[in-house]
Amino acid sequence: MSEVDQSAKIPNNVDLSHDQRLQRALEHWLPMYLEWWNDMGPNGFQTKDIYLRTATSIDAGGWAHFDYIKMPDYRWGIFLVPHAPERVIGFGDHFGKPAWREIPGEYRGNLRRIIVTQADTEPASVEQQRYLGSIAPSLYDMRNLFQVNVEEGRHLWAMVYLLFKFFGKDGRDEAEELLNRRSGDADKPRILGAFNQPCDHWLSFFAFTHFTDRDGKYQLASLAESGFDPLAATCEFMLTEEAHHLFVGESGLDRVVRRSARLTRETDGDPRSVGGIDLDLVQRTINYWFTYSLDLFGGEISTNAANYFGEGLKGRFKEKHRYEDHVMKEGGKTLSVVKGGKVVEEEVPYRNAINEVLREEYMNDCERALRKWNKTLDEEGVTDIELSLPSRRFHRHQGIYAENYFNPTGDLITKEEFERNVPKWLLNDADKDYLVSIMQQVTEPGKMANWIAAPARGINGQPIEFEYVRL
């Protein structure tokens, strides 16, 4: 692994200048990427100076360099975390053998599918969020939005590098397709459901970065275990950037909860009378994005997932530290399944349930955040309302629960009962209209929209009143 080459057209630490064919291919893709960014990236702020961090090296201190830049001038680069040459495969049937530096031929198709699926989510989220700048609740938040957007762009670069380097013509075709699909488009949608859902307002933005980017964290972490070393090294670095996206979501929702609680108390239970957000609406938003994000982990019982694990392509979350048996050829896992109109327990072979293992890690992490938000409610003196996560069976479109209807506590119900309750349980059009009506852009440095509390501190040691975006 070489030093970071900042003078190159594409900053990188993968020695691009010594692989002319790859370098030319990526430089050819760059203007197509920029065209996509200008068409589908943040709408209306491309010429503004924004206080952004750019990765300039991969060391702990150097990777977050802050400065004012215009988004199209952001230096989208390719950075891999250096790995020891003696790294071995940490799980599955090849456990303990040397990690692969090149694609193992028999797994080419599976690796291509894994990489393309991950890659597709990156531009999708930029597309979903493109109109949010013009209704941002503060300059601080606007800057965070754009930070997330440019970094999702960089994540696309990270994945496209793998496609170009290891997949030849197929990789080039896939890279083009990644710029051709569009979130929510009827004819050429993005690959995964959550990435085609509208994100029309900041409540969805915060829930998306909390719940959906958090799925990304768990997917990237399990790919960072991969026996295909370049994929592992790429994902490891993406995780450092992802942490900020999760912070934006979790702290954003916390600030909404805090403000909503205060307004609920001050208005005797009617925060909407002063343009605030009621806690029921926060709960519906949690229900909506949490369940769409659960779908992203794939089927509860999956031979694909079993194969990815057995083949050493995709491990578990913190495979090395959290598990003792890294092969898991034996053993099972108990799942709740629907049989004869009832929810019953059933044991399935462990490897086939590996998606559920990752989903549970994710759910525990989400529960932790819920406890924090409920503590915020307490602090603000609201003690008769608790926010919660719905059951993993509720409102699912993928996996073994998708065929049935469940209420938020996970009981089987009829389709009619489900549909009757949708307005109560899930973010809906009336909610969207209300949220859009209260969200107006706030441009005075340090000032916040009425529906959200101020953050605890600014970015990179700057005060909250800092001019994060020069309009």
Query: Where on the chain is the footprint of Fe ion (CB under 5 A)?
Result: 122, 152, 155, 213, 242, 245
Least Å distance, CB 70 to Fe ion, is: 21
CB 255 within 8 A of CB 455: yes
Residues whose CB is less than 8 angstroms from the CB of residue 94 and which lie 6 or more positions away in sequence, other chains included: 227, 311, 312
CA angle 276, 277, 282 (to 5 degrees): 165
Phi and psi at residue 82, in whole multiples of 5°?
A: -65, 135
Least Å distance, CB 461 to Fe ion, is: 23
Q: Which is nearer to Fe ion, 290 or 406 (by Cβ)?
A: 290
Q: Which is nearer to Fe ion, 141 or 278 (by Cβ)?
A: 141
Q: Which is nearer to Fe ion, 81 or 412 (by Cβ)?
A: 81
Least Å distance, CB 241 to Fe ion, is: 7
Q: Which is nearer to Fe ion, 66 or 247 (by Cβ)?
A: 247
Q: Which is nearer to Fe ion, 155 or 165 (by Cβ)?
A: 155
> Which value, to the nearest 10 degrees, does the dihedral of the CA atoms of residues 63, 65, 70, 74 take?
-20
The residue count of the chain comes to 471
Please tell me what DSSP assigns to residue 457.
Answer: S
Least Å distance, CB 148 to Fe ion, is: 6
Least Å distance, CB 217 to Fe ion, is: 8
Q: Which residue has the tokens 């549909």?
A: 419
**Interatomic CA distance for residues 389 and 284, integer angstroms:** 10
Q: What are the counts of helices (DSSP H) followed by strands (DSSP E) for the chain?
A: 13, 7
Q: Which residue has the tokens 């509208």?
A: 198
Least Å distance, CB 124 to Fe ion, is: 10
Q: Which is nearer to Fe ion, 155 or 181 (by Cβ)?
A: 155
Q: Which is nearer to Fe ion, 214 or 359 (by Cβ)?
A: 214
Least Å distance, CB 119 to Fe ion, is: 10
Least Å distance, CB 164 to Fe ion, is: 18
**Interatomic CA distance for residues 301 and 306, integer angstroms:** 9
Q: Which is nearer to Fe ion, 221 or 453 (by Cβ)?
A: 221
CB 72 within 8 A of CB 8: no
Least Å distance, CB 325 to Fe ion, is: 31
Q: Which is nearer to Fe ion, 199 or 328 (by Cβ)?
A: 199
Least Å distance, CB 121 to Fe ion, is: 7
**Interatomic CA distance for residues 226 and 224, integer angstroms:** 5
- Which of 226, 224, 233, 223 minimizes the C-alpha distance to 312? 226
- DSSP line for 161-218: HHHHHHSHHHHHHHHHHHHH--TT-SSS--SSGGGGS---SHHHHHHIIIIIHHHHHH
- Which of 104, 142, 148 minimizes the C-alpha distance to 124? 148
* DSSP run (H or E) holding 338: strand 332-339
Please tell me what DSSP assigns to residue 333.
Answer: E
Q: Which is nearer to Fe ion, 155 or 326 (by Cβ)?
A: 155
Q: Which residue has the tokens 């578990």?
A: 316
